[in-house]
Amino acid sequence: MTSPDAAPIRVLIVDDQTLIRLGFRMVLESTGDIDVVGEASDGAEALTAVAELSPDVVLMDVRMPGVDGIEATARIRRTHPDVRVLVLTTFDLDEYAFGALRAGAGGFLLKDARRDELIAAVRAVAAGEATLSPRVTRRMIDLVTSAGLPAPEPARPTTLTAREAEVLDAMARGLTNAEIAATLFLSESTVKTHVGRILTKLPARDRVHAVLIAHGLAQPGLDA
């Protein structure tokens, strides 16, 4: 839970459907720690809004006219690396959403997510703890294999210690730092230390990139 003294999480909602934007705004503004600072109906508007409003998190639809969510995500991550992007997608995850992750998005949010899931996802991304849910990861692997490619082999760099490998496995299962700490009987601060070392050793941009690497869906490297 966010500290009551912490500044509200600034969110920009990007979707070409007005009712979806309105629904997300109503849910997010019902909390005390999230502030919707603006909306955009496509990627071009999103780029302008990010520069003007400096949000902490962008809820980014993938399929939009003009500049789509993939290109907008890539541009935002290049020009505003501190801004986190949470991709909006349907349950039938496709290559467009996968492309947004590779462009630097911090995670996925399904459009049919429950209220508590939406709020938790925004908070997690803002804290740098965004991960892929197991069903999203499974769908991504299915996409790779259905394209006729060999099933990806999980990446386990030899530089990782046994404990770091356990933490990486837990990250790939979608666990947060607190959940990893409880599962492995560690303190949360120790888990954070392990996560930091994993990102350095892979190397990975963030937790989501590390999860993709762990499933063989992305190459190590900060420029990947």
- List, for residues 76-104, the tens digit of each pLDDT value: 999 999 999 998 877 555 566 677 777 88
**What pLDDT, on a 0 to 100 scale, did the predictor assign at position 50?**
98
Rounded-to-integer distance, Cα 163 and Cα 56, Å: 32
Burial 127-159 (b: 16+ CB within 10 A, else e): eebbbbbeebbebbeebbeeeeeeebeebeeee
57: exposed, middle or buried (Cβ count in 10 Å: 0-12, 13-18, 19+):
buried
Of the candidates 64, 60, 62, the residue with the CA atom closest to the CA atom of residue 95: 62
Instruction: Give me the sheet containing 9-14, strands edge to edge.
Output: 34-40, 9-14, 57-61, 84-89, 107-110
**What pLDDT, on a 0 to 100 scale, did the predictor assign at position 113?**
80
- Residue count (the chain): 224
pLDDT tens for 42-66 read 999 999 999 999 999 999 998 888 9
Burial 18-48 (b: 16+ CB within 10 A, else e): eeebebbbebbeebebbebbbbbbbbbbbbe
Q: Are 29 and 9 in contact (CB under 8 A)?
A: no
**What pLDDT, on a 0 to 100 scale, did the predictor assign at position 100?**
76
Residues lower than pLDDT 70 in the chain: 1-5, 91-97, 130-158, 217-219, 221-224
Q: Are 141 and 135 in contact (CB under 8 A)?
A: no
Residues carrying CATH 3.40.50.2300, the chain:
9-130
**What pLDDT, on a 0 to 100 scale, did the predictor assign at position 109?**
77
CATH number 1.10.10.10 given to 146-214: yes
Residues carrying CATH 1.10.10.10, the chain:
146-214
Place of tokens 């907008």: 72
Domain 9-130, what fold?
Answer: Rossmann fold (3.40.50)
What is the pTM for the complete model shown?
0.74
